[in-house]
Amino acid sequence: MPSDNEPSEDLALYVHWPFCVSKCPYCDFNSHVRAEVDQAAWRTALLADLAHEAAVLPGRRLGSIFFGGGTPSLMPPATVAAVLDEAERAWGFAPNIEITLEANPSSVEAARFADLAAVGVNRVSLGLQALDDAALAFLGRAHNVAEGLGALDVAQRAFDRVSFDLIYARPGQSVAAWEAELVRALSFGTEHLSLYQLTIEPGTRFATEAAAGRLVIPDADMGADLFEATRAMTAAAGIPAYEISNHARAGAESRHNLTYWRYRDYAGIGPGAHGRRGRCATVRHRKPENWLNAVARNRHGLQSEEPLSPETRATEALLMGLRLREGVDLAWIAGRTGVPLHALVDDTAVARIPDLIRRDGDRLRVTEAGMLLLDAILPEVVRAGEVVSA
């Protein structure tokens, strides 16, 4: 079992680009609208933030890089190239490194896809969000269906690997309507789909609308029907769910996101970026201007760098790993964190709900039926966070 900061274990790098053309009403991500962005200053700051992480994580190799946001497809390809060049110089790349960039499907951004591919991006995650013009308008998206599908076509020609996102469980959406939309989505032949139920996040415009009674999303029963239809249709199409909201052909899973869910190390740079370095959690300043000022002062954008207790790390590993169809290896978590195997989960609780969660030796996984109830199951079975000493 790998120990903390094991050099043989590939590292992941997350790069946050916080800017968007507009703020979507459902979005609670760290995204900001600015009239102007000093591209040279941002490139310099990202490289400084990266250099700091490389200095405290020496002797590693990068297995994946993910440009998230915000809207990273608004980044100049030259900035993406500079980050990739510095990352390769600092750490070195695994031979099959996965380099993903999130993109919005506007024609302006799609025009950059060839240049982004030329500098090393080999996977794109496209924010289509819906295949219905009225739904896109409701979601506050700047593109229409025709523009989105045009960008998807460009992406499939430019990049080796393509994924796209859709949001379902929208107000008034029936199971039949969603199934028809999903049939169309599956017909495009991408290797990966991220399919999310619409949720009302605090602090968003949708939260304000919902509080005023002007927005009502499908109830729990309808949400369950939509979730089950989604799982059945993607499985039948050969891209089953490997995580609660992510679906892929065998071998096409997001290797970067698997780093999070399997609780491996990752560095995070840019505004608001989080990281996990062995026993330590890092958080960058969230507001773009605050992050820039911190980098100018300190040569990094860190807001906090906190040690994590063994119990916290074990709990995080369980909460992340049980989102996966494969589940978790309890012996690996015990070896990784130092929390005894017997203290990780409540086996009595697991035994009470065998149709929802199962333990086979050291492997614990949530069943297909249990995924629908994951938020209710986790507090019942995860014990590590309750452990004070062992």
pLDDT digits 0-9 by tens, 238-278: 999 999 999 999 999 999 999 999 999 999 999 999 999 98
pLDDT band at 8 (very low <50, low <70, confident <90, very high): low
Q: What is the CATH number of the domain that holds 230?
A: 3.20.20.70
Q: What local confidence, expressed as pLDDT, does residue 21 receive? A: 84
- 272 inside domain: no
3-state SS assignment for residue 311: helix
State whether 159 and 229 are in the same domain. Answer: yes
Domain end call among 261, 291, 319? 261
CA 237 from centroid of its chain's CA atoms: 23
pLDDT at 341 over 50: yes
The secondary structure of 141-189 as a DSSP string is: -S--HHHHHHHHHHHHHH-SEEEEEEEE--TT--HHHHHHHHHHHHTT-
If one counts the domains in the chain, the total is: 2
Domain span including residue 339: 310-386
Q: What is the CATH number of the domain that holds 372?
A: 1.10.10
Question: Rounded to whole angstroms, how far apart are CA atoms 17 and 247?
Answer: 25
Lowest mean pLDDT among 25-39, 192-206, 350-364: 25-39
Are 139 and 129 a contacting pair, CB within 8 Å? yes
Domain end call among 261, 296, 318? 261
State whether 113 and 244 are in the same domain. Answer: yes
State whether 255 and 316 are in the same domain. Answer: no
> What is the rounded average pLDDT for all residues in the chain?
93
Residue 129 in tokens: 């969000």
- 155 inside domain: yes
pLDDT at 1 over 70: no
Question: Rounded to whole angstroms, how far apart are CA atoms 287 and 215?
Answer: 29
- Look up the pTM and report it: 0.94
State whether 113 and 175 are in the same domain. Answer: yes
- 2 inside domain: no
> What percent of the chain is modeled with pLDDT above 70?
96
State whether 331 and 203 are in the same domain. Answer: no
pLDDT band at 195 (very low <50, low <70, confident <90, very high): very high
- 27 inside domain: yes
Are 329 and 336 a contacting pair, CB within 8 Å? no
Domain end call among 261, 278, 294? 261
Question: Rounded to whole angstroms, how far apart are CA atoms 183 and 128?
Answer: 15
Are 188 and 216 a contacting pair, CB within 8 Å? no
